[in-house]
Amino acid sequence: MLEYLEVLKPRMSSEDYRRLAAIPVAKVHKFIAESAELCNPDRIFICTDSREDIEYVRRQAIESGEETPLAIPGHTYHFDGPKDQGRDREATKYLVPKGDYLSKALNQIDRDEGLAEIKSLMKNIMKGRTMIVRFLSLGPLNSVFSIPCMECTDSWYVAHSVDLLYRPAYEVFKRGEVPDDLFCVLHSAGKLNERMVSAEPEKKRIYIDYIENTVYSVNTQYAGNSIGFKKLALRLAIRKADREGWLAEHMMITGVYGPGGRKTYFAGAFPSACGKTSTAMIPGNTILADDIAYLRNIDGVCRAVNAEVGIFGIIKDVNPVDDPVIWEVLTNPGEVIFSNVLVKDGKPYWLGMGCELPKEGINYTGYWWEGKRDENGEEIPPANKNARYTVSLRALKNCDPELDNPMGVELGGIIYGCRDARGYVPVQQSFDWEHGIIAYGASLETETTFAITEEEGKYEINIMSIQDFVSIPLGKYIRNNLEFGRKLKKRPIIFGVNYFLRDLKTGEFLNDRRDKQVWIKWMELRVHNDVGAIKSPTGWIPRYEDLNKLFHEVRGIEYSETDYIKQFTIRVRENIAKINRVEKFFKDNVPDAPPELFKVLEEQRDRLIAVQKEFGNYVSPKDLEK
């Protein structure tokens, strides 16, 4: 251990040396020493999570130019480059050693080749800069859920962001409570231009070495690529969960109040821009997680925690009517980082905020004016569609008090949400655990969105909303979910939701964005068997009289039977086509798919064909109720 400290000593102040020496973990020293030797920073700053250190990081984020203060106290903004506005699938790869296997649906590169490439890109990349070292915990401290982790970065913006998003863990590291499979991240923003944004996006690489539990990220600042504990460490957590028999999921967690003040917890998996954060923040409920959840079987009960304590959320369409809780945080003093919004006179603006936007200002492309076009002649919007806000969950008035409970919370339900204009009804309940995991989770089909840097509007399978992040064979991941539920004494009920159903003739949405407030209340009642349901070929669907009552109670509006029939008519032809697409995907891409998957899909097809013979291609819920 001393050999690594001696190597690091010339790059550290006596105080930083003392701070690192207080951590009795050789692997920590080794990772920092090897990272410093590779990246060659002038200085290494060891953050102890003290108030003074946290304030220093915040101040440096501004003084470096990576963040700029806004008019409201505590608010800052940050810009990423025009080609660094989202998770980059093409640049994100698993490092797979020879002889190992990952599904061909997952982006990957030979481990030796990938390590050589990423290390050549990172050689001396921090010269003239400070390497900031952060020690953090995924999951609550002092918990069976806890995963200690560390990141070395040269971005003060990244170092600041993790203060809002994760639990500090320097003291945990000082106590030596660090597992052998410690998660490590090495990140550099790379060469920066005069606006302090990554200047070489063509050299962007985000590589995940699951053999060493290490993430390498270079030539990017976008937080989804640079904060290694977001979706990048989720890939490592999935492998850890696979070894240890629990689940690491791309899920929100919300506490939903029911009759008599009872609170039922739901986890939910939704692809980006499909309603996950807005579901987690429905007024009147509590939010415990908006992005990543760990699920464990504790004494036969499914309990869950938030891996994080903050939100890196899409800000598009956040407005005071639809999102009053987060709107309050974003428009009042407090610590918030805005990224890739439009800024004018010290105020941030974003798409869909419910007011007229300025005709000029500064955004991620520099000075912006209405009608400005990019190098391809495309008109540049005022703010990026994937513009974000970063904020602590504790800043929200509806933050759940169990956020840091080391035992987590018991889940009553699990929701899989898709973006499906054509097929699934707005809300339905699975027949059992296997049906829900396969028909709603593994079959989750969604429209690609701006949160992923590729063509919008293309439909694709996104298994459990986690497909991009699964670092084990996809078939094994599905089997793990099936087995997890089978071992529970008390299983959460699985639901499917779709907030994006459209009229097949007019193309108009059949749901108001706020209708999700009703759907989740219905799900809460179903968990406790307080209301009945209609059996459809694809699952249990609500009865009109129950929804009519809930629309009055929850939204204070009339809910017509006509709207109900439009929303809950089973579209047989579209659902059969969906099954065909799902089957083809698994046959083409997942050779280890469990046989139960094809069995459940075939049973669903048979049910659809049966009602098609009796009622035709479009089956009213009233016909099914007879």
Q: The domain containing residue 437 runs over which residues? A: 248-309+403-625
CA dihedral 239, 245, 249, 252 (to 10 degrees): -150
The reply to whether 469 and 600 lie within a common domain is yes
Q: What is the Cα–Cα distance from 158 to 153, expressed in whole angstroms?
A: 7
- One domain for residues 418 and 342: no
Three-state secondary-structure class, residue 136: strand
Residue indicated by tokens 């459209």: 502
pLDDT for res 453: 41
Residues of the chain below pLDDT 70: 1, 448-458
pLDDT of residue 103: 75
pLDDT of residue 435: 98
Query: Of 395, 428, 460, which one is at a domain's C-terminal end?
Result: 395
Residue 162 lies in a domain: yes
Q: Are residues 207 and 266 in the same domain?
A: no
Q: Looking at residue 17, what is its pLDDT?
A: 95
Q: pLDDT tens, 445-490?
A: 887 544 444 444 467 889 999 988 888 989 999 999 999 999 999 9
pLDDT value of residue 455: 43
Q: Are residues 161 and 115 in the same domain?
A: yes
Over residues 553-569, the pLDDT tens digits come to: 999 999 999 999 999 99
Whose tokens are 């640079």? That residue is 226
CATH number of the domain where residue 206 is located: 3.40.449.10
Instruction: Classify residue 244 as exposed, middle or buried by CB count within 10 Å of its CB (0-12, 13-18, 19+).
Output: exposed
| Whole-number Å distance between alpha carbons of 569 and 423 | 10
Do 233 and 110 share a domain, yes or no? yes
Q: Does 78 fall in a domain? A: no
> What letter does residue 462 receive in the DSSP assignment?
-
Res 321: pLDDT: 86
Residue 73 belongs to some domain of the structure? no
Question: Which residue in 47, 152, 184, 274 is the catalytic one?
Answer: 274
The answer to whether 184 is a known catalytic residue is no
Residues 449, 455, 460, 461: is their CA dihedral positive or negative? negative
| 317 & 305 share domain | no
For residue 589, is it within any domain? yes
Specify whether 273 is located in the same domain as 365. Answer: no
CA angle 290, 461, 596 (to 5 degrees): 100
